[in-house]
Amino acid sequence: MHKIALNFEDGVTRFIDATADETVADAAYRQGINIPLDCRDGACGTCKCFAEAGRYDLGQEYIEDALSEEEAAQGYVLTCQMRAESDCVVRIPASSQVCKTEQSSYQASISAVRQLSDSTIALSIKGDALSRLAFLPGQYVNLGVPGSEQTRAYSFSSLQKDGEVSFLIRNVPGGLMSSFLTGLAKAGDSMTLAGPLGSFYLREIRRPLLLLAGGTGLAPFTAMLEKIAEEGSEHPLHLIYGVTNDFDLVELDRLQALAARIPNFSYSACVANPESQHPLKGYVTQHIEPRHLNDGDVDVYLCGPPPMVEAVSHYIREQGITPANFYYEKFAAAAA
């Protein structure tokens, strides 16, 4: 049995199980998800999707009009023909609603809430329901703010282990979730999670990676690095983690532990405030070296507050280098 992540156009992800002898479209249908289909015979191309990761058999019966050789080489698949040979990630060019599914919702309780510094909170949530929660490292969920109707988006900062997941949250003074977490929240409080969501997730590692984090934008990377620590990587990975003030710099011991587990992973952390006591000062962009960009043969992942993401994207464009792949996530404020 293989796990298939179906990523819909609206950012919703659903995981299904697929056996080696059923097609991905049949497996999805069996689990209540209708991938758009027409002929089911490899002739019309209606079920064409993009396989982002995994090994699979394309099938023998389809015709060139439905899927050309070139498309197949790029990673396109006909889900009415495709059979998984490993866990896979498949991008569906339709919304979750069109496919008659929606994001899942989970109820769990706070297992730990800890202020790591004035600006940063670590939150862990645990519950039996969460042992069924699957997500791709880098994705996020919407967390309900207890005592209100509102939700806030947070990237998982860990993998799910024994029904527990963690988050790294910026303490925005006066913010709704921030005020709850720094004031009222305590272990045992109930919380609702809806997701997983988002297209910012770790793809198959085919070349060196450059990971760029701003503030709590570190969260998706610690989740990705946990996954890489489990599976290994033959390519070099470098993380540059930038913050504004010394007290924003958190989780350095965790990064060090991850570096000890991942042989070709290196990282540096820098602080923008010129008054900083930290040895490395300045912005993330000041610490990107030509070898990190590897003449464009690099996959760049970038995450942080919107102005940081824009500044770094602009900087990379200015270098005249187009990375093989460039993925980013902006931690936009819900209230903005």
Ligand X SMILES: Cc1cc2nc3c(=O)[nH]c(=O)nc-3n(C[C@H](O)[C@H](O)[C@H](O)COP(=O)(O)OP(=O)(O)OC[C@H]3O[C@@H](n4cnc5c(N)ncnc54)[C@H](O)[C@@H]3O)c2cc1C
Binding-residue pattern over the window 172 to 211 for ligand X, x denoting contact by CB under 6 A: x-xxxxx-------------------x-------------
54 vs 215 by CB, closer to ligand X: 215
Q: Which does 219 bind (CB under 5 to 8 A by kind): ligand FES, ligand X, none?
A: ligand X
149 phi-psi bin (left φ>0, alpha ψ -120 to 50, beta other): alpha
Shortest spacing between CB 171 and ligand X, in angstroms: 7
Cα–Cα distance list, 323 to 8, 302, 336 (Å):
25, 12, 30
Q: Which residues pair with 126 in a beta bridge?
A: 109, 164
Contact between 155 and ligand X (CB under 6 A)? Answer: yes
Among the residue ranges 34-42, 84-92, 270-278, 324-332, the one whose residues contact ligand FES (CB under 6 A): 34-42
71 vs 310 by CB, closer to ligand X: 310
CA distance 59 to 93: 20
CA distance 67 to 177: 47
Using the Cα atoms of residue 226, residue 227, residue 230 and residue 236 in order, give the sign of their dihedral.
Answer: negative
Q: Which does 43 bind (CB under 5 to 8 A by kind): ligand X, ligand FES, none?
A: ligand FES
Amino acid 130 reads: L
Among the residue ranges 43-51, 206-214, 233-241, 306-314, the one whose residues contact ligand FES (CB under 6 A): 43-51
Binding-residue pattern over the window 52 to 81 for ligand FES, x denoting contact by CB under 6 A: --------------x-----------x-x-
E-strand stretches of 13-119: 13-18, 48-53, 56-57, 76-78, 83-84, 88-91, 104-117
Nearest to 329 by CA among 146, 184, 157, 155: 155
109 vs 199 by CB, closer to ligand X: 199
Q: Which does 172 bind (CB under 5 to 8 A by kind): ligand FES, ligand X, none?
A: ligand X
Q: Which does 305 bind (CB under 5 to 8 A by kind): ligand FES, ligand X, none?
A: ligand X
Contact between 209 and ligand FES (CB under 6 A)? Answer: no
62 vs 331 by CB, closer to ligand X: 331
Q: Which of 135, 154, 265, 301: binder of ligand X (CB under 6 A)?
A: 154
Shortest spacing between CB 279 and ligand X, in angstroms: 25
CA angle 264, 324, 54 (to 5 degrees): 70
Contact between 50 and ligand FES (CB under 6 A)? Answer: no
Q: Which of 3, 39, 205, 244: binder of ligand FES (CB under 6 A)?
A: 39
Number of residues that bind ligand FES (CB under 6 A): 14
Query: H/E/C letters for each residue in 190-252?
Result: EEEEEEEECCCCCCCCCCCEEEEEEHHHHHHHHHHHHHHHHHCCCCCEEEEEEECCHHHCCCH
Residues 288-307 close enough to bind ligand X by CB under 6 A: 305
Q: Which helix (H) or strand (E) holds 268?
A: strand 265-271
Please name the residue that has the structure tokens 């994705």.
139
Residues in contact with ligand X by the rule CB under 6 A: 140, 152-155, 167-170, 172, 174-178, 198, 216, 219, 305, 329, 331-336
